[in-house]
Homo-oligomer: A and B are copies of this chain.
Amino acid sequence: MILEKKKAFQNFAAAKGLRSTRQRDIILDIFLSTHQHVSVEELYLKIKSSNPGIGHATVYRTLKLFAEAGLAREILLHDGQTRYEHVVAGEHHDHLVCTGCNSIVEFEDETIEKLQNEIAARHGFLIKNHKMEIYGLCAVCRN
Binding site for B on A (CB under 8 A): 76, 78, 96, 98-99, 105, 107, 109, 111-112, 115-116, 119-120, 123-139, 142
The distance in angstroms between the C-alpha atoms of A133 and B115, with both chains bound, is 13
Which residues of B have CB within 8 Å of A136?
120, 125-129
Which residues of B have CB within 8 Å of A123?
96, 105, 107, 138-139
A134 touches B112 (CB 8 A): no
The distance in angstroms between the C-alpha atoms of A56 and B116, with both chains bound, is 38
The distance in angstroms between the C-alpha atoms of A98 and B126, with both chains bound, is 9
Assuming A96-B120, A120-B136, is B126 touching A115 (CB within 8 A)? no
The distance in angstroms between the C-alpha atoms of A120 and B120, with both chains bound, is 24
Among B128, B133, B137, point to the contact of A135 (Cβ < 8 A).
Answer: B128
Which residues of B have CB within 8 Å of A127?
134-136
Which residues of B have CB within 8 Å of A115?
109, 111-112
The chain B residue sitting closest to A116, CB to CB, is B134
A99 touches B125 (CB 8 A): no
A131 touches B128 (CB 8 A): no
